[in-house]
Amino acid sequence: MAMAAARRWGAGMTGRGGSRWLGLGPGDDALVTPEVTAALAEATDIVGYIPYVARVAPRPGLTLHPSDNRVELDRARHALDMAAQGRRVVVVSSGDPGVFAMASALFEALEATPEAMGTDIRILPGITAMLAAAARAGAPLGHDFCAINLSDNLKPFEMVERACAAARTGRFRHGVLQPPFRLAPASVCPRAGGAVARMCGRTG
């Protein structure tokens, strides 16, 4: 575990705290990387969306900070603040922290508070649901592929349509995430065969 051992919390940075923006994978503990497990074991604070924080077992010395959806930027600032005060803060996402998850909020928060760059910040990748679902479905993403978020909560629906059209033109395998309930995936990508995966790797 060369990479994990080489980067202790706060090493070479301001203070002895830091933040780890990590991915818990799609749900099964068997898909959580050892690097992530080690970071969780050393954390003093867990920050994240309520159902993801609930996947971390409580223990003495660990404070859980669950918060609701749509407060990602506040959550990221809170995590950076605590890290600056010397806490070891883990920000949990499901799947991978980069894929439509908290790493984007991290960089948005850093733009507003560049002094937080002096703290120890690391992003730890996770198994994204797209790969887990493809493996379970026997439909490997074996050629060029793309991931499209079908939700129009944070962008105009025209951007969703444009991305789907481009995916067809480029002959990408599609992994579509968060289909809005009013839309079946087939209505966006009418000629595509596909699988619908939900709670991949979770039993509950």
Q: Which residues bind a copy of itself (CB under 8 A)?
A: 1-4, 25, 28-35, 38, 96-101, 103-104, 106-107, 122-128, 131-132, 134-136, 138, 140-149, 159, 162-163, 165-167, 169-172, 201, 203
Q: Which CB sits closer to a copy of itself, 86 or 98?
A: 98
Neighbours of 83 (CB within 10 A): 29
Q: Which is nearer to a copy of itself, 63 or 199 (CB)?
A: 199
CB of 168 to a copy of itself, least distance (A): 8
CB 55 within 8 A of CB 199: no
Residue type, 169: T
3-class state of residue 190 by DSSP:
coil
Residue that is written with structure tokens 């703290």 in the block = 119
Comparing CB distances to a copy of itself, the nearer of 17 and 201 is 201
Considering beta carbons, is residue 63 or 165 the nearer one to a copy of itself?
165
Give every CB contact of residue 106 below 8 A, 6+ residues apart in sequence: 19, 21, 76, 79, 80, 91, 121, 123
CB of 22 to a copy of itself, least distance (A): 9
- Shortest Cβ distance from residue 20 to a copy of itself (Å)? 11
HSE of 33, CA atoms in CB hemisphere, 13 A: 19
CB atoms under 10 Å from CB of 127, counted, come to 23
Q: Which is nearer to a copy of itself, 79 or 134 (CB)?
A: 134
* CB 99 to a copy of itself: min, Å: 6
